[in-house]
Amino acid sequence: MKRYLQVVWAVLWKDMRVEWRTKDSFTSMAVFAVLALLIFNFAFELNVPDKRMVVPGVLWVAVAFAGVLGLGRAFITEKDQGSLAGLLLAPVDRSAIYLGKMLSNFLFILIVEAFILPLLTIFFNVTVIIPSLLLVLFLGTLGFAAVGTVFSALAVNTRAREVLLPVLLFPVLLPVLIAGIRATSGFLVGDTLADHANWLRLIIFFDILFLVVAFLTFDYVVEE
Amino acid sequence: MNRSKGLTILNTLSFIAIMVALYLALIQAPDATNIVPEIRPAQRIIYFHVPSAWVSMLAFFVTFVASILYLRYDSLRWDIWARSSAEIGIAFTAATIISGSIWAKPAWNTWWTWDPRLTTYTIVLLLYIAYFMLRGSIDEPSRQARFASVYGIFAFLSVPLTFMSIRWWNTIHPVILDPRADFGLGAGMTQIFIFTNLAFSLLFVTLLANRIQLEWGAERVAALRERLQG
């Protein structure tokens, strides 16, 4: 067990260090997210009586699009540099590699979210930093990373590569997006966690279900 | 030879079943009495729309199970089952959406609403289009089968969650699948409704059997060609 966690940590730490030195993913994700906020601002500003009606959608769509951008890169550099083969040759459990990759993707998206939440508050003049909202965002992002990491590994081995990723990912991810947007709009108008327990349960169920399926299937995705 | 004889019998049987279903649904079935007269003919779409929906889900379920079996046993047979069934599923999903849309115009006075079932079916269609896009962009057969199997499992499992999540919005779609209340149908309609469902299921089995047979033929041709060239 200890060894397993060491592998997870090693993969996670490697990704963090690579990202810290290149800042490739984070920069593109963050800039993209800001662009999305700006575009949404122009798309909706003129005809909405209350900003809180659009902010949940803006937040989740910006996160989803920025996240898919980062996920797309998760395995591309590994593949192109040949380091994926190295990872797979290591005598370790493949699911530990999955978990490490998943956690690094999860962390990257969380960091981007930490970056855009204050911006959203400023641009749209709506306080989005609410504990219950952060919780639902956290849980939704976990499901996003859980499924996204597997699909990213799928997409990198196809001819279409990152073009295919959103097409594969978004239809599967839809329940999380719907639940997240609904719960977020509730929390913005002052609802409590208990008011949206069904949405939270749905996201938690999604997270658990797809983490388990990902654990079971990741082996087949990276098998050569 | 024996196999193709079996196929001929199956083909004939489902042709007869579908013809009988057509007769029953269009001529034999009584008019619905609990709706305004103008939309009574449109109500008959239930005998095609619901069976199509049922068959598409059945087809994707077969794909789901075949995908698991492929990953488990690594046998070409299950990949052929998975992709053949998914193809049929896409056709019936499209039939479901289109027939529903035609019915919705007289009944709800709109071609389209963001009702849970409509939306879920559209997502399902997109899921399995993505499934074939994934297949299409991988050349190596064994990898294609492996990846498609993984995606087939994820896709199928997400459908009930999608449906649940959209359902928690208001729905105007009639809730039909309630066997305790005779599926919400009147006298003389229930039996026909069940028969059309069975006929469509038989049609599904027939299409799947033909499709699988065709795929095996294609595999044989590919193998022969390789031997001739190599």
- Chain B contact for A160, CB < 8 A? yes
DSSP states along chain A = -HHHHHHHHHHHHHHHHHHHHH-HHHHHHHHHHHHHHHHHHHHHGGG-S-GGGTHHHHHHHHHHHHHHHHHHHHTHHHHHTTHHHHHHHSSS-HHHHHHHHHHHHHHHHHHHHHHHHHHHHHHH------HHHHHHHHHHHHHHHHHHHHHHHHHHTSSSGGGHHHHHHHHHHHHHHHHHHHHHHHHHTT--GGGGHHHHHHHHHHHHHHHHHHHHHHHHHH--
Packed helices B116-136 and B76-108: angle between N→C axes, nearest 10 degrees: 150
Cβ–Cβ gap B146/A213 under 8 Å: no
End-to-end CA distance of chain A: give it in Å, rounded: 26
Interface mutation vs chain B, best among A217, A218, A219, A223, most B CBs within 10 Å: A217
A175-201 pLDDT tens trace: 999 899 989 988 988 888 888 888 899
* pLDDT above 60 for B172: no
Tokens representing residue B164 in the block: 């649940």
Whether A197 contacts chain B with CB within 8 A = no
Answer whether B163's CB lies under 8 Å from B116's CB: yes
Helix ranges, B24-45 (H) = 40-43
Cross-chain residue pair B147–A158, CB shorter than 8 Å = yes
In which residue are the tokens 């896409």 written?
A: B90
The pLDDT tens digits for B119-156 are: 888 999 999 999 999 999 999 989 999 999 999 999 99
Q: How far apart are CA A53 and CA A119, in angstroms?
A: 17
Per-residue tokens: B22: 């057509």
| Residues 6+ away with beta carbon under 8 Å from A5 | none
Q: Tell me if chain B has a CB within 8 Å of the CB of A168.
A: yes
Yes or no, beta carbons of A175 and B165 under 8 Å apart: yes
Q: How many CA atoms lie within 13 A of A113 on its CB side?
A: 25
Backbone torsions φ then ψ of B60, nearest 5 degrees:
-70, -30
Buried b / exposed e across A88-120, counting CB within 10 Å, b at 16+?
eeeebebbbbbbbbbbbbbbbbbebbeebbebb
Mutate to test the interface with A, among B150, B157, B163, B168 (most CBs of A within 10 A): B150
pLDDT score at B187: 67
Task: Work out the minimum CA distance from B210 to partner chain A, whole angstroms.
Answer: 29
8 Å CB contact between A76 and A162? yes
Burial class (CB in 10 A: 0-12, 13-18, 19+), B133: middle
Name the residue among A167, A206, A220 with its Cβ closest to that of B130: A167
**How high is the mean pLDDT of chain A?**
89
Q: Angle A7-A13-A14 (CA atoms, 0-180°, nearest 5)?
A: 90
Q: A178 — contact with chain B (CB < 8 Å)?
A: yes
Instruction: Give me the pLDDT at residue A112, please.
Output: 93
Which ipTM did the prediction report? Answer: 0.90
Gap from B146 CA to chain A (nearest CA, Å):
7
Q: Any CB–CB contact under 8 A between A153 and chain B?
A: no
Provide the residue ranges of all domains of chain A, joining segments of one domain with +.
2-222
**Closest CB to B138 among A158, A178, A210:** A158
Query: CB distance B154–A179 less than 8 Å?
Result: no
Question: Which of A136, A149, A174, A196 to probe the B interface (max B CBs under 10 A)?
Answer: A174
Sequence-distant (6+) residues with CB within 8 A of A66 are A29, A30, A32, A33, A36, A109, A112, A116
**Average pLDDT for A3-7:** 89
pLDDT in tens, B82-107: 999 999 999 999 999 998 888 888 87
Q: Which stretch of A69-83, B30-44, B91-105, B174-188 has the lowest confidence by average pLDDT?
A: B174-188
Share of chain B above pLDDT 90, in %: 52
Instruction: Flag whether residue A147 sits within 8 Å of chain B, measured between CB atoms.
Output: yes
Report the C-alpha gap between B166 and B185 in whole angstroms: 26
Grouping H, G, I as helix, E, B as strand and the rest as coil, residue B22 is helix
Least confident piece of the model among A84-88, B34-38, B58-62, B83-87: B34-38
Contact status of A164 with chain B (Cβ, < 8 Å): yes
On whether any CB of chain B is under 8 Å from the CB of A157, the answer is yes
Angle between helices A94-124 and A2-22 in degrees, nearest 10: 50
